[in-house]
Structure 1
């Protein structure tokens, strides 16, 4: 699985922060990616709507922080304010080794379920789709020409369980790898992998 906190200071829909959880899956075509059961954004209606309405990503508004203090970087998720759902803390003090970099691809696939509710009580118009999309990352380079991709000790805590936002249900155990990256990214919709329509009742 994967848990991430990201800051997008500029994008086609404006600046926002995001926190997401993913479960590794393999699609019918044999490609590996992450199914996204939980994803949150800070107040940005365009970022919320474009992800939820187009991709089916189950975005919700939340309070997200991403701060640096000395050599530490910490991301938090709260919903509502004061209800801390998770804390992600890292000390990215080493450049990624070539062997660790092989675990990453510049192109990462994601999967989400888009459900369109019926327009009346007879069920007319209801459809459920499995949507495949991806992000393509281009790592930035520092003043030495090195890619900004670091790793180091990382901890993830689920601070308080929530029935409304059960992000704690993804029990990841001990982190295998924690990273800090700076990159430009492009998002692309790939395809609808499956679709189930519910016929309306007469």
Structure 2
């Protein structure tokens, strides 16, 4: 009988696949990163417990084109600064990706809030532009002009926080206790430039990032980097405490009926 590819793999085949994935070369991405201070109440409002706000209500947007072998990938992230105990990092609210293949591992292994979307990175001379779009709405646009080189940072680490869970089969709660994941990213940068420009947030009922406005722009950069990540379960979290936030993971048009956080403009 011919090989049935949906059939069980042998132990040797499984081991070979695991070994091959562990020997991938550095994969470099080119992208735009913007950081700004937003409304502190709005940032606090999007953080599920046990995450808490940090001293500065920062928002970080990354819009990248990744040089994956065989096909390019557009990858984006919209995250807010957060802390879990004494560990500070970033809590992504939405991570648009241009290919289904890029969604699966991140969502199922780490709990990343990845969704299919359009991710654009453009450079024409000194002019750069990065866009995150879904459902025909460019809900984030970073634009500007390169104003000079920046010194390359030393290789460093960044922690992202994710909640990994599965909604219950009967539609009520979860199938098992959700977990909070610490994802440690080791990053190397080989090119970095300062960008003078601005960030535009557009209203979207599916990706309501406009609720986290730009109060003070900290900076915009354009560069090339590579990263490797590993994760660990930090703790099991309260299902009851997380339930009010799980709409962040899905396209929920009912969000348009929600008022903005009290005190926001």
Q: Which residue of 1 aligns with 2:185?
A: 135
By how many angstroms is 1:182 displaced?
Answer: 0.7
Residue 7 of structure 1 corresponds to 65
Aligned residues of 1:26 and 1:32 also touching (Cα < 8 A): yes
Matched, 1:64 2:119: yes
More helix by share: 2
Which stretch of the first structure deviates more once superposed, 164-173 or 51-60?
A: 164-173
How high is the TM-score relative to the length of structure 2?
Answer: 0.62
Write the deviation string for residues 52-90 of structure 1: whole angstroms up to 9, x where unpaired: 111111111111111111201101122123x22121113
The equivalent of 2:102 in structure 1 is: 47
Distance 1:149 1:63, change over 3 A: same
For residues 177 and 187 of structure 2, the distance between their equivalents in structure 1, rounded to whole angstroms, comes to 32
Matching residue within 213, 218, 221 for 1:171: 213
Q: Identify the residue that residue 189 of structure 1 maps to in structure 2.
A: 231
Contact 2:166/2:174 (8 A) holds in 1 = no
RMSD between aligned alpha carbons? 2.4
Map of 1:33 onto structure 2: 89
Alignment TM-score, normalising by the size of structure 1:
0.79
- The residue number in structure 2 matching 1:16 is 73
**Residues matched between the structures, number:** 182
**What secondary structure does 2:146 align onto?**
coil
The question of 1:118 aligning with 2:168 is answered yes
- Is the 2:155–2:189 contact (alpha carbons within 8 Å) kept by the matching residues of 1? no
Contact kept? 2:165, 2:174, Cα under 8 Å? no
Distance change >3 Å, CA 124–CA 180, structure 1 → 2: closer
Secondary structure at 1:182 match in 2: strand
Once the two structures are TM-superposed, the CA of residue 121 in structure 1 deviates from its matched residue by 5.9
- Secondary structure of the residue that 1:88 maps to in structure 2? strand
- Could you report, residue by residue, the CA deviation over 1:167-187 in whole angstroms, capped at 9, with x for unpaired residues? 212223231111112122112
Bigger CA radius of gyration: 2
CA distance in 2, matches of 1:108, 1:124: 29
Alignment match, 1:96 = 150
Aligned equivalents of 1:190, 1:14: Cα separation in 2: 29
SS at match of 1:172: coil
Q: Gaps (5+ residues) in structure 2?
A: 1-58, 241-265
